[in-house]
Amino acid sequence: MITTGTQMHELVRRLYPLCRSITGDGVRRTLDIVGEHIGLTVHEVPTGTQVLDWTVPQEWNIRAAHLTHVATGRRVVDFADSSLHVVSYSVPVSATMSLAELRPHLHTLPEQPSLVPYRTSYYAPAWGFCLSQDTLEKMPDGDYEVVIDSTLTDGSLTYAEHVVPGEVSDEVLVSCHVCHPSLANDNLAGVAVATALAAELAERRPHHTYRFLFAPGTIGSITWLARNAERIDRVRHGLVLACAGDRGALTYKQSRRGDAGIDRVLRHVLRASGRPHSVVEFSPYGYDERQFCSPGFNLGVGSLTRTPYAGYPEYHTSADNPDFVSAEAMEDTLAVCREAFSVLDRDRRYVNLSPYGEPQLGRRGLYDSLGGRSEAGRVTATGGGGRGDGRAQLAMLWVLNLSDGEHSLLDIAERSALPFDAVADAARALQGAGLLKE
């Protein structure tokens, strides 16, 4: 079972060389490896299947590709060195052409001359090679042998699910994309964190049912939504994981609704943790949260990243390699997910069974029995206190006061500025003393 940052990093390294795209054997091999750690149900959706306003495309696979200078026999670009070297979904090519003819099909990053870019051409027939600007500038004039040994044929789109049954059928959807080739942060770190989180949850019985979706970006989530329309209403909360392993501070992008349960939970957890972080508003640009939050579905699905997409210079380049991501960053991302889902699973509404005046807590062993101390000495406005149990006592008072069947424990934590754990512990103690009922 994957439990540590080191193990997540090892998974990233193992998956990194595989050539993934929105379809094909690279996706299948990726899911095979993830399936060694958690049980997966793999779905194959045939080419031509109508999925909402889209159609499942032909399946793309590639075996080899290279550019070879004819006069010298020197191979200047080779797909075997990196899956980034070929534009994803390139049609097959076998030709000899001059450098001038070849140049429109060569993609570089002049502003980052040592790096290889990531490029795609999913829905328009095209072909191309990606290489560093440094390599391009060293390519001599003359003819080049151009080979892309690929296939575009009727096949299927592949995605997988892992479901952790809960006490209730209401679901938390956790999604990550598996279509990017050799890019470690975007999105193998998200795949690794999702795998570790799923493995952890499977060790216990959570309150909610957790559904993990490993699918290609955009077309994968659209396909899943189209195939699950009758059960979408079970999804109460959702989180898209991406860019989960860089050393930047965490960023939570809120759902389209902005006040969904997952939005409130992530805001609270990040604020209470003291971690450097950002919370940003929803926009219809980014990862698959934009599909889940499209107006017809409007699900409460946010996105958790570290540095957001396109926010770091290594984004969609060969510099996004396993050395760019860290075990510590993935552990931190996993910890925030763990904390957030713990809050989701424990958030309840209670009713105070002794609502007329404050019940006597001391005789129930719930309150400091020493009299004569001022409330100012007992607790502070933010929940700290002169005594170690001050925060617990204040939490009990807040829970008793707001447990009217309308306020949840998260409501109470937010209003009192107390950590959710303190509020949940207080509720458990009060329920045990017969003063609350769920």
pLDDT digits (tens, 9 = 90+) for 386-396: 344 588 889 99
356 and 420 share a domain?
yes
In the block, which residue shows the tokens 């699910």?
161
Average pLDDT of the residues of the chain? 94
Q: What is the dihedral of CA 382, 388, 393, 398, to 10 degrees?
A: 20
Mean pLDDT within 240-263: 97
The response to whether 69 counts as a known ligand-binding position is no
A 10 A CB-CB count for 32 gives 14
pLDDT at 138: 97
pLDDT at 389: 59
190 and 275 share a domain?
yes
Tally of domains in the chain:
3
> Which residue, of 295, 330, 346, is where some domain finishes?
346
250 and 331 share a domain?
yes
> Which residue, of 126, 153, 180, is where some domain finishes?
153
361 and 397 share a domain?
yes
Q: What pTM was computed for the model? A: 0.93
The response to whether 180 counts as a known ligand-binding position is yes
Output the domain CATH number for residue 196.
Answer: 3.40.630.10
115 and 92 share a domain?
yes
> Which residue, of 153, 188, 218, is where some domain finishes?
153
248 and 379 share a domain?
no
pLDDT digits (tens, 9 = 90+) for 8-33: 999 999 999 999 999 999 999 999 99
The response to whether 407 counts as a known ligand-binding position is no
Question: Is residue 370's pLDDT more than 50?
Answer: no
Question: How far, in Å, are 131, 269, 270, 376 from residue 383 at the CA level?
Answer: 57, 16, 18, 11
312 and 253 share a domain?
yes
Output the domain CATH number for residue 139.
Answer: 3.50.30.90
Question: Do 346 and 205 touch, CB atoms closer than 8 A?
Answer: no
Domain that holds residue 71: 60-153
Question: Is residue 3's pLDDT more than 90?
Answer: no
pLDDT digits (tens, 9 = 90+) for 94-146: 999 999 999 999 999 999 999 999 999 999 999 999 999 999 999 999 999 99
